[in-house]
A and B are shown apart, each in its own frame.
Chain A
């Protein structure tokens, strides 16, 4: 794709976002929503710029990002490790499969009260919840990718002298990379949602906490700032993951 096509695609993609902001503004301009409850977008954006420059708000972002990254990273490491192990070892698969089936459909946020009681109100409870929630899509995608690696790739490597125990890292892992990265992408979106949710439920800091505090004190403008901030954070993180993905998968067809 050439540069001009990318630019025009980006412009086309902006249309719904602009439209959404326009509807938001229209709701206020035509008097459907009182300004005290739904502040106009201009006011929210200028407040956001102002907030982004304050240390206290930056600390809220930092707290959220730290939990997000740590939880997501642990989920990636565990998910890839367990998924790979289950795909290549039938015994591990037999052990792992039932518990994955039981836990995967569970709404993990239901574990949050228990986590709070067990590990407290600090970072740990949020990180654990993010890990729990992001783990399963990554694990399942890794398992699927690793168990459908083309047999002849493995044979080619073994004939070239790769010992069986090295096939896992030299063939299975790179061959499963497209699936793994798709799982990571889903896991990352879930992580963004869950960290915010956990902070909204019970927290002493973070973007979710900032939103709830503002809502409880009827500060409508301050309520919208964390909301837009977390969507921007999600957008940037997803963009970074996409860059990583297209670099790692540069040799794969349809990547």
Chain B
């Protein structure tokens, strides 16, 4: 269980003025839940994710995991970034093997596990390719495999499909759900797409724009496993989307699409 308790974040702007990015956020994320953080750009949703990741220290408040305060990054929380952040000097296999090797797993075992993961994300045959030789969608598959390889308890996904075209994005959303169905890891998923949030999540945390506050938490009560084509015809799915979009319309957050 992840608990975020009264977290605020203040940044200094280049003009040396204080900018309040997150204001008094409190949130509980249950084990095994797929939770999306939805908000307009600049609402601090990525910052919240970085705080849970231990990459950024909150100015006030505490984020904790399993009752222990988060003080730094750790292999129990695996990030997947929009920019992929793959190591350009390593091959696909080298990137995926990085985590297991850091965890002290012997090379042959690490390699076997990594090859299996690469196959699972649909990239069999690309083990020896370098990231620069792959498309955006393939890079993000590698990044996901690299993170899954060290068995984090929580996946921290920072607009992971934001840089991809619509078609690739849809495919990756489906594949992510299929992978998630197998072991139901806790997922914290940052996005600015209402459809993406509703399609993937058990719970959608809506945030307000600057300073970022929790505006509303909506439980998404849709059956799993979810299939896009079925959901698109499902009135409940449509209702969630319309409901959330209306809420953002009310607040004048027109940038949210």
Contacts and interface: CB of A to CB of B under 8 A. Distances in A.
Interface in B78-93: 78-79, 81, 83, 85, 87-91
Nearest to B50: A155
Nearest to A250: B130
A41 interface: no
Interface string B146-176: 1100101000000000000000000000000
A32 interface: no
Contact of B132 (A155, A156, A251): A251
A252 B130 CA distance: 8
Contact of B83 (A150, A249, A253): A150
Given A161-B103, A250-B130, A156 B90 contact: no
A251 B55 contact: no
A92 B20 CA distance: 32
Contacts of B98: 157, 160
A156 B72 CA distance: 12
Contacts of A155: 50, 53, 55, 73, 79, 81, 85
A252 B74 CA distance: 27
B61 interface: no
B137 interface: no
B99 interface: yes
A158 B73 contact: yes
B102 interface: yes
A152 B85 contact: yes
B131 interface: yes
B132 to A, nearest CB: 4
A153 B89 contact: no
Contacts, number: 73
B77 interface: yes
A68 to B, nearest CB: 28
Range for the number of chain B residues in contact with chain A? 20 to 34
B85 A156 contact: yes
A250 B75 CA distance: 29
Given A152-B81, A155-B55, A161-B150, A253 B73 contact: no
Looking at A157, A160, A174, which has the most chain B CB atoms within 10 Å of its CB?
Answer: A160
B89 A251 contact: yes
Nearest to A171: B87
A156 B74 CA distance: 10
A159 interface: yes
Contacts of A252: 88-89, 132
Interface string A167-188: 0000100110100000000000
A159 B146 CA distance: 11
B81 A156 contact: yes
Contacts of B50: 155
What is the interface of chain A mostly: helix, strand, loop, or mixed?
Answer: helix
A58 interface: no
A160 B89 contact: no
Contact of B146 (A152, A156, A174, A175): A156
A244 interface: no
B184 to A, nearest CB: 20
Nearest to B82: A152
A174 B90 CA distance: 10
A159 B79 contact: yes
B219 to A, nearest CB: 29
Contacts of B103: 160-161
Looking at B87, B131, B147, which has the most chain A CB atoms within 10 Å of its CB?
Answer: B87
Nearest to B150: A160
A156 B87 CA distance: 9
Given A155-B55, A158-B72, A161-B99, A251 B130 contact: yes
27 contacts: A152-B79, A152-B81, A155-B50, A155-B53, A155-B55, A155-B79, A156-B79, A158-B72, A158-B73, A159-B53, A159-B75, A160-B75, A160-B78, A160-B102, A160-B146, A160-B147, A160-B150, A161-B75, A161-B99, A161-B102, A174-B89, A175-B87, A249-B89, A251-B89, A251-B132, A252-B88, A252-B132
Task: Enumerate the 9 nearest inter-chain pairs by beta-carbon distance, A residue then B residue, closest first.
Answer: A152-B85, A160-B99, A251-B130, A161-B102, A158-B73, A253-B132, A161-B75, A159-B73, A174-B89
Interface of B: 50, 53, 55, 72-75, 77-79, 81, 83, 85, 87-91, 98-99, 102-103, 130-132, 146-147, 150, 152
